[in-house]
Chain A
Amino acid sequence: MAEAHVVSNLVVALLLAAGVAVGFFVRRNRLWSEAAVDLRRRRPWALLVVALYVAVAVLDSVSWVGGAEAGEDVVAAYKARSVLDRAFSDFVEASYSAPLAEAEFYGGAPLVYPGRHLLGTDILGRDVLYMTLKGARVALLIGGLTSLIAIPLALLLGVSAGYYGGRIDDVVFFVMSTLASIPGLLLLIALIMAMGRSTLSVCIALGVTSWVGLCRVSRGETLKLRELDYVQAARALGVSEFRIVLRHILPNLMHLVIITFVLMFSGLVLSEAILSWLGIGVDGSWGQMIDQARDELSREPVIWWNIAAAGSALFGLLLAVNFVGDALRDIMDPRTLREDL
């Protein structure tokens, strides 16, 4: 049985390899590389911000055991710790402290690391900057991994339903309608409550609630594409159905997939924040930080740095992703091309 951190490292390596593969594909394909250049031109800052978040998340995803320095917590020697964990190792206080403060918030006792906590510390004395950075990995996990599972599933079902029609279509359509008839948040809650509150069930629940949209759209598009002349021609020529789907249908859905991925991403992260608020989210997420900081604002004097850090991090990522998504949608929408002369 593999250790959790080994699996996590493997997943990161796989994702990076996939990313590089996508990069090569984009370069070779003229349409996509033009779109990529256009995107870089329109939203350089947003792309940079997203890249930054990804970098931080990767830093927290690569972990290994051992290498504890003298004087550190004994447990640390046996727990798998990431690059981020090691950077902030043992950087704790007793309880609250304001950003860059020299003394504890309540009581004024001197800190172990005075003036070094850029964003202060939380109720357990953990460095807020550290917690915020760790949240990036959770956010990307939720948004990215869930999408990577939901999207192929949606495509598989949607294209099959649209292309083959008949019974398959009836079944898929029925399942889609049923799931789509349950308001999203309620469905999420129901799934998580039933499956138990764990990171895995949150991801599965988020996946179940998000595949319907893309499925419906890809089914509709496939129905249209199937009637196109060149597809009919291919079938008349005896090309196997599988090849038709692979070479004619799927490539035409790619722009939808990309945009769905980007939009789904922010939706998922926002949903998880709400789930954390309700107490059924993922450990270590920004949503959880915000939830834990709920009544800190009503204290006198106000403790604001927890919620400010988590809120800003959340806002920053979503803003960047939304900008990129908007620009992508504009680039790929054939209607925004100039009118025929």
Chain B
Amino acid sequence: MLAYVLRRMGYGVVVVLGVLLFLFVLFFTVASPDDVARRALGEKALPEVIEQWKANHGYDRPLWPWQDFDDNMLFEHYRRMLTFDFGRSDADDVLIIERLRQGAGPSLALTIPLFVVGITLGIVLSLFVAFFRETYIDRTGVFLCVLGMSLSILLYIVGAQYLIAKLLRWFPISGFDSDPAVIGRFLALPLVVGIASGVGGDVRFYRTVFIEETGRDYVRTARAKGAGEIRVMVHHVLRNALIPILTRVVLAIPFLFMGSLLLESFFGIPGLGAITVDAINGNDFSTLRTMVFIGALLFVMGQIATDVSYALVDPRVRLE
């Protein structure tokens, strides 16, 4: 088991290095330092101004190791990213890591409740629907899910803002205040929207998993032994269904940190997602690079966590 975990972590490291290479190619070759400078300074900037800007932001060194082994941007890129030395924003020169620290809190405040409630609701609803499979309850449930999945999250956001904030005036349209007394009011709307837009897809997925498991041979054996439907669902099906469900769930954990780009930017929550959106609008490549790296890092960690959790839940993996 330890060997398994170490192997997974090893591959994870390799992947992260690959991601960094990809980011380097993307942000330093596809978008050359000249492009970046011009986007920050404007198309008509003079060549000297561009050179100065590049020097200030560290874009003026040779790119590849074969051009200059001791002073090239590839190694610099690796060194800095891996030591979390993210530098300053291209747009406003603020230390990126400071921004990250400030943004983590609000993001977590939104995504943790979103995650917990979303999953619980998803599993409960899908168990309910799967229990009544092939009856009207099930068919209506699936129909509603497909309906929900076809509605873009944008429409949920707009709809919620309009209906609840404007018409009913229950919650403020946007904004954030970390004071525990009022934080709920600002998070309520994005929470509702986040859960509502995701529940359709989740229930559809979990339902499929439950129904597939329920059709398996060992369930037939359990019934032949005289087990009741409830015991079958809880003791037999659920434990096996956990395996594919875990993939989806554990993989989502890294995103708790990233926050939801859309929910944050639209509801004015100053989290990591909002930072990313600002970076897009401000053509802030250094921040963008950092956010993508962090996202990938967390994702890889999530994948490793998923594999480890498989080993915990599935004896076939644990005892190989």
Contacts and interface: CB of A to CB of B under 8 A. Distances in A.
Direct interface between A and B, CB < 8 A: yes
Interface of A: 174-175, 177-179, 181-183, 185-187, 189-191, 193-196, 266, 270, 273-274, 277-280, 287, 290, 294, 297-298, 302, 307, 311, 314-315, 318-319, 322-323, 326, 335
B227 to A, nearest CB: 20
Contact of B31 (A177, A195, A323, A326): A195
Question: SS class of chain B's interface: helix, strand, loop or mixed?
Answer: helix
Given A193-B285, A287-B154, A186 B30 contact: no
B22 A193 contact: no
A193 B30 CA distance: 10
Contacts of B281: 279
Among B158, B161, B215, B254, the most chain A Cβ lie within 10 Å of the Cβ of: B158
B65 to A, nearest CB: 20
A112 B316 CA distance: 73
B292 A178 contact: no
Interface string B120-150: 0000000000000000000000100011011
Question: SS class of chain A's interface: helix, strand, loop or mixed?
Answer: helix
Contacts of B254: 183
Contact of A273 (B27, B152, B288): B152
Interface in B26-43: 26-27, 30-31, 35
A315 B150 CA distance: 6
B96 interface: no
Nearest to B142: A326
Closest 9 pairs (CB-CB, A-B): A178-B18, A318-B150, A194-B31, A319-B150, A194-B30, A182-B296, A194-B26, A186-B295, A183-B295
B146 A307 contact: no
A208 to B, nearest CB: 10
Among A183, A287, A314, the most chain B Cβ lie within 10 Å of the Cβ of: A183
A190 B277 contact: no
Contact of A193 (B154, B255, B280): B280
A315 B285 CA distance: 34
Interface in B237-288: 254-255, 258, 261-262, 265, 276-277, 280-281, 283, 285, 288
A274 B30 contact: no
Given A194-B27, A319-B147, A182 B155 contact: no
Nearest to B258: A183
A181 B292 contact: no
Given A194-B31, A280-B280, A297-B158, A319 B26 contact: no
Contact of A297 (B16, B23, B166): B166
Interface in B267-320: 276-277, 280-281, 283, 285, 288-289, 291-292, 295-296, 299-300, 303
B212 interface: yes
A287 B162 CA distance: 18
A181 B296 CA distance: 5
A297 B26 CA distance: 38
27 contacts: A177-B15, A178-B22, A181-B296, A181-B300, A182-B19, A182-B22, A183-B299, A189-B288, A193-B31, A193-B280, A193-B283, A194-B26, A274-B152, A274-B153, A278-B261, A278-B277, A290-B158, A298-B173, A307-B158, A311-B152, A311-B158, A314-B152, A314-B155, A315-B155, A318-B151, A322-B146, A323-B146
Interface string B200-230: 0000000000001001000000000000000
A297 B155 contact: no
B14 interface: yes
Given A277-B262, A298-B166, A335-B212, A193 B147 contact: no
